[in-house]
Structure formats: structure tokens, C-alpha cells
Structure 1
Amino acid sequence: MKKGLSLLVAAGLTLGAFPAVMEAAPPLVNVHLNGKKVQFPDAHPFVADSGRTLVPVRFVSESLGANVTWIGETQTVAIQQGGKEIRLRIGDSKATVDGAETTLDAPVLLKSNRTFVPLRFVSENFNAKVEWDGATQTVVIKTADQKDDPSVKLDPYGRKIRTTNLPSNAADYPYILEDVPNEMYEMKYLSEFPERAKNTSTLYRTIPEFNKENVDIWMERVRKHFALYLNADYRTINQNWGDELYSYRIQAIYEQPQIEKYVSWVKTNEIQIEGYLDPEPSMIYSSGWGYFVRSKYKIRVLNYKQNSNLLYDEFYDIVAPKFEKGVWYEGYTDIEIGTNVGGPYWGDTLAVINNVSMFDNYWNRRVE
């Protein structure tokens, strides 16, 4: 019933343009380090108002091999690697490198009890090459100790492709990534009309619209949609949140009052949730009815009065796991995506399907 309703509304009541909104969620950023996507455990990089990319300082210590020390008395972060030391202070646009003062391109920020630092400044001071891909909101970092290996194949996003220890259904995909576990590839598909279903390899090989330009637009909309969907806070949520969420979906007029109702419920129920969802562009398939992109997600519920309808999802109370307060959960989910036009140009019509659910086909586990 849900899918039929979605298609009917998409065909008859969709709007051609996305509404303007007053506020936007900070764009989420992907980080690829030496050919692998970095998964952030509890705080995700973002683009600040200054236009600079900020990353949690924990990333610096764990991924760039530096030692990070927090000095609470002065609200200062000390980063050491080899013989070099960088010191940065919360709210300050100045830093010291081996005792010499230098200017940052963005101030150090404290957000959600996590310290964020300018990525380019830190990376380049530890002899790493940093590049920015604006189309996919991706930072590509290569450390000085990495040597080019012509035998290593990369995907269109610069990530390493593996040829060993392949998943049992490897032929379903155009390639298998080194930084994606087999459990994500081998998760069952949502199959609505098996005779019309197509795996990722078939879609990319047979449908011209499945090109990098279109897929990149789709993935950006999915990321931005779920940056809102998985981050609702009764203390700050307003209708701008709802308008922006609506702008990333195939639009159906009936949804607007439903979103308004959810915004009101977040306030009444004192809901606080945080998390992110990262769609994988090499894992899009057709169920025979709609298109789905397999995604990795992470979520933590911080507060509520009633454990009911915590996400904007009409099926939440029926199929969603019961998230305990204060506990991180992670997993994989297939997110339905679509367009309301045919022909060679999808472009701005690409979006998350209206009435989307994170729980059509998912796998979830508690993070210990």
C-alpha cells in the first residue's frame, strides 16, 4: 500500500521546484584517506559558515597518527606528531606551530561536546596532500608515506577496489571496495517484483541515466535529507527544518501538514536524536518497483518522554527497533530514491522518495 500511494502522489501531485528555505543544515562531508572512506564514530565533518571543512580532532589522532591532548584549563588542543607540535584553542583563529603563531582559515569550534578543527590546516602541517571534490562534498587526503601503485585500481571517487575476499554476490556490483565489508554487500535486497528487479551492475550498464553526474546529485540529496531526519532537537527545531526536509523529497502536497505535525510532536515529546546516514553510490538497485541505495547509518536517541514516532516515519512504531536512550546504534538500510521524470536528464528532479522509511529493509546493531 505504501509504494502504491507513493507512486500515485508522485505522478499526480509533485511540484517542479524545491521551495526556498531560510536556514540550511551544514553540508555533510565525506573524507577519503589514502583511498579509503573514513567512518566517523560519533561526530561527522561539516562545512562551516566560513566555507571551510571542520573535522573532529579525534580523526586527527586516529587517522593521521598524531597524539592529541586536551588542556582543559586553557580550552586548548595540543597535537603532536614526530617532532612537530600544533596548539589550537577553542574559538580562536590563531594557532601555534612549533611555538610560532599562524592564522587559521576557520576558528576551532566546540560542537556537541566535540572539538572540531580546520582539516586543511592540520593535514597540510603534517605533510598530507588535501584535495576537495565539490560535486560529491568529498575531501581526499593522501599522506606523505603513501606511494602510487599502478596495480591498485580506484573507483570514480578515488577509493581502492579489492579483488580478494569478495562477497558471494560480487557480480551484482560494478566493483567491490576495500573499505566496505562483505556484510553490507551480502545483505538481502528488497524485492517487490523480482522479474523486473535489477542489480547495480545491470543498472549502470543498461540505463544511460545512471551516470556519475546524476548519481552524485542523488547522493547529495540523500545525505542532506538524513542530516535533518536523524538530527531533530526539540530545543531548536522549527518549520525551516520541515521545509528543508521536504525540499529533498519527491514532493507531495499531502506531506507538508504531516511534517508540521511531526515538528510539533518533537517539541511536545522533547525528542533529541543525532546521527548520520551515508549512501553508497556503487550500491543502487531496483526492486522491480523503485530504486534503492544501500546506506550505512548511525543513530543515538538522547531524550524523549514517550518512545513513539521518534523519527519522521509513519512506520516507525511498527517496524523500527526500540532504541535505548544514550546508546549508539549502527547498521545498513536501503533508502528509496526516485525521480518524477523520464528521459535523459534527471538532474534537479532526483530526490528521496516521498513517504520514505529507514526500515523497509535494514540491519541494526548496538555499538558497544
Structure 2
Amino acid sequence: MRNFKFNSLSAIIRSKKARRGMTIVICVFASLVLLITTAGAAGTAAKAVNVIMDGIKYPLTKGHPYSENGTTMIPFRMISGKLGTQANWNAANKTLTLQQKENKIVLTVGSSFAKVNGQPVALGAMVVQKDGMTMIPLTVVSDLLSAEVEVDEFSQSVHIHTPGKDLGELDYFGRKIRTTNLPKNYKDYPYILEDIPNEMYEMRHTINYYAGDAKTGAQMFITKVTSEDMAKIIKRMKIGYDLRLNVDYKTIDPASYAKEVFNLENQSVSIRKNEIKEYAEWVKKNKIQIEGAIDPEPSVLYYPGTGDYRIRSKFRFKINNFIEYKDILLDEYFIAHFRRSGELKKGVWYEGYADISVSTNYYNGTPGETKNLDSLSSLFENATLHEMK
């Protein structure tokens, strides 16, 4: 297994040794389906996607990139003022005009065609407005604006790169490292990323200080885990929470839902599968509808000395419907949060950070192959939670 290491941009994009299974893909969107779990038993079609623009990942927040029906959509603001373009928005007719050198590109909300120097060009999906943001198909970036677009199956991310731009030092997952304005506890981590605020780094850890083998993330990357391990663990975490946070009473099938969710958890307690099925049956009875996602950060992990790893994750969810305010989320700490902080509101987006637990029922084995979501992993245990206005 390889230890954690830094790479130059050229190594990340071109070296087969730098990333396994990575291919530069221009407009081959079938591959993007690999980045998203369908979670068919749970319901919703659109799923959050990691998109990294010149080493900066767009945060999991309002207007985040998503995939729907095999097409990745990104917020225009992500590329606004970049790639050598000038933009003009006409609110009256909902058109976005981009000028890049001699090319004039006109995009219209509700249309799946662009006009390039007056000629229609198919985009493969419609330009839409979502959460107050103009969302454009990734084809606009790769086909019309001539950016380098890479689908990285290893880290389950899409990279957009301005041709010829030097990004400086990147981490193994293609993100920019910063060396200034560091968090107070920066020594706890193997590196500090430019696109993560200090707020996330400086949250307290749930460490059992009586456990002599508790370790920081910096220590774990040296002795315990590799980048390949973290990529595999995080992929399973995201799929697991796609299932937990996207439920719809109209489409959920309790038996298949329980099987899918349980397969992505530590399976040391077989009765857990029955508990998940009972929750799914309650979803149908209580007419629960939820949508959301998590974005685990591979470098922000630690070992609390209690057998599991904790991986700090950005999360976002919205409860769209229920009848009775009871057991709305598949989360063991939901009731405790309700008693402590009051009811969560319908139709409101909540965001925050949580230390999500991953564990295993295997005595030996590499973390990347054996660590799964713990059945007690929670968005409400060691977490921050904010109502988004």
C-alpha cells in the first residue's frame, strides 16, 4: 500500500501511477454515472457530485453540482470570470451570454441548445434554474469553452482545469494545499486545504483521552491508512448516506432498502437489518420525504481510541414531508437532538459538519476494504447544524 503523498498537476492528470482507474474524459458522460449511486430503493434522482475547478472543490451547499439522468450539472457561478470568458445575464428573457475570444455563446434557461455564433449546438440537457442558481450542463465547459475535463473514478470526482494554469501544490485528490491562515490545530492534519474553512478544522474531536492509542489524522496517514483506503471508504460513506438522506414514501421498498443500507454498514449486529426495514415501513406510514447528501473529507479524520474511525463530513439535508414528528431520519441520535434543540422545520435546508463513524467487524484487513458506516454514525452527535436562509 502507498503512503499519502502530494502530486503536481501533471502527475495527477497524466500519471497512471498517480491514480488508478483514472481517465481523461471529454463529453463521455456515461462514465459520470459511476460517480453517483442510483439509490433506487430510496427515491430521488438527482445526486450531489464532487466538482473541482482548478484545485478548488465547490462546497456542498446551495447550487452544488449534481447528476441527473447521467448528466452532470454545475452552477454557472463556478466558472464565472474564469476560462477567459466574459458573461452577461439577461433576467428578462433568462439568457446567459458568454464571450470567449471570438466565440459568442448564448444559453437560455429551459433550452437544451446553445447558440454559438448564431448556430444551434445541442447540450444534451437543459439549462435550468435551481435554488436560485443557473445550472448548466458540463458539456458547456468541455465542448464550448475548451476546458480540460477529467472524470476521476479513484476519488469519485470531476475535475475542470483551465489549460496552462499552474495550480501549485495539490493533495492526492487534486485539491490545492494552503500554508497561510492555518487553523489552530493544523498539526492534527496531514495538510490543510484551501477550499475548507478553519471552522471545519477547529471543531472539537470526540476523543477518549483515556485511550492510549487515540490518534490524530496526521498520525493515521503515517501509520494506519493510505489515500487508496480513504477513497474507498468515502465512496461507501457517500452511497450509504445517499440512501439514508434520500427517502420517499412513494417509492421506497422496505425489503430492498434494508438490504442496500445494511450492506454498506458494519454488519456485526444482524438485527440491524430488521431495524432498517422497520424504519422504511415507518417512512411509508408516516409519509416521510427527505433529500440530502454528505461530503466526507479524507484528510480530516481521527481515531478516538474506541475502535472506529471518525471522518469529518459536510452535510446538507431537507425534510420535505412527514405526518408525525418521530423517527424521521435513520439516525440513532435524532431523538436526542430533538429533545435538546427542538424540531427541525419542513422544507428548510440544514447544513453543517459531523464526525461520522466508520467501523468494521473484521479483526484483520486493510481499512479500505473493511471499514463501513457504523450503525450509530450520526449527523447529530459531534456536529454543527445551521438552518439555511
Contact 1:124 1:130 (C-alpha < 8 Å) held by counterparts = no
Aligned residue pairs: how many? 336
Match of 1:247 in 2: 263
Instruction: Report SS of the residue matched to 2:242.
Output: helix
Among 186, 199, 202, the residue aligned to 2:202 = 186
Match of 1:315 in 2: 333
Q: CA deviation at 1:108?
A: 2.7
CA distance in 2, matches of 1:242, 1:294: 25
Q: CA deviation at 1:31?
A: 0.7
Match of 1:306 in 2: 324
Stretch of structure 1 that moved more, 24-33 or 112-121: 112-121
Does 2:315 align with 1:297?
Answer: yes
Among 25, 37, 41, the residue aligned to 2:57 = 37
Contact 2:107 2:127 (C-alpha < 8 Å) held by counterparts = no
CA distance in 2, matches of 1:112, 1:82: 24
Contact 1:89 1:95 (C-alpha < 8 Å) held by counterparts = no
Q: What letter matches 2:266 in structure 1? A: I
Query: C-alpha offsets along residues 262-300 of structure 1, whole Å, 9 cap, x if unaligned?
Result: 112122222222221110000110010121100111122
Inter-CA distance 328–272: structure 2 relative to 1 (3 Å threshold): same
CA distance in 1, matches of 2:127, 2:107: 14
Q: CA deviation at 1:162?
A: 1.0
What is the TM-score of this pair, normalised by structure 1? 0.80
Instruction: Report SS of the residue matched to 2:212.
Output: helix
Does 2:241 align with 1:222?
Answer: no
Match of 1:9 in 2: none
Q: What letter matches 1:87 in structure 2? A: L
Match of 1:325 in 2: 346
CA-based RMSD: 3.0
Contact 1:274 1:301 (C-alpha < 8 Å) held by counterparts = yes
CA distance in 2, matches of 1:175, 1:234: 42
Among 170, 174, 191, the residue aligned to 1:158 = 174
Does 2:375 align with 1:354?
Answer: yes
Does 2:118 align with 1:102?
Answer: no
Among 117, 123, 129, the residue aligned to 2:148 = 129
Does 2:160 align with 1:141?
Answer: yes
Gaps of 5+ in 1: 1-20
Contact 1:280 1:294 (C-alpha < 8 Å) held by counterparts = yes
Inter-CA distance 255–332: structure 2 relative to 1 (3 Å threshold): same
CA distance in 2, matches of 1:116, 1:238: 31
Among 213, 225, 232, the residue aligned to 1:196 = 213
Contact 2:331 2:378 (C-alpha < 8 Å) held by counterparts = yes
Inter-CA distance 351–27: structure 2 relative to 1 (3 Å threshold): farther
